[in-house]
Amino acid sequence: MKSNNYGSGIYNETQPVGSDEGNRKRNILGDNKMERPTREQIHMQTASLWAHRATCKLSNRKIGCIITTKDMNRILSIGYNGSPTAMPNDSCRDVTGGCGCLHAEQNAIAMVDGIIPNKTMFITMEPCEACANLIAQSNISKVYYYDEYRNHQGITRLRACGIEIIRLSKT
């Protein structure tokens, strides 16, 4: 298990992603090596930043989402949970499971081109079953996430659809 400190947090990967070789760069001055964050870590950190824009009133439901190309070189869409566009930002009903907000995944998927194949999703919390169904229909082939949802039906659905799931832990 690899542990690196980048910016505002330390990330411990529950499953290794990428190789150390690809994450290091030779320093101009010689043999010293400079560690760099992986693309996975950068995109998860970015999803966490977008979560701060969430308008859902539930304190534990500030969720951010990023959709990238398969190679993770390009961000295609972002999303966070909150009221639909036509509604005021304070329209959340503050009821678990019935607040009326769109999920971060729904917002990101609504803004992305569905024709681009093999997209990768980074989300701060594992998806619910309804969002997992949308993910499966959206040409997304891999999902990274941090936190667990109250049940694992979404993850079960994604695995049944052949979508790769990777949980990264933050500390």
Domains and CATH numbers, the chain: 38-170 (3.40.140.10)
The pTM (predicted TM-score) of the whole model is: 0.71
Distance CA 117, CA 29 (A): 41
What does the pLDDT look like over 110-135, one tens digit per residue? Answer: 888 777 889 999 999 999 999 998 99
What does the pLDDT look like over 36-77, one tens digit per residue? Answer: 999 999 999 999 999 999 887 766 678 999 999 999 999 999
Distance CA 8, CA 45 (A): 9
Beta bridge pairs of residue 80: 64
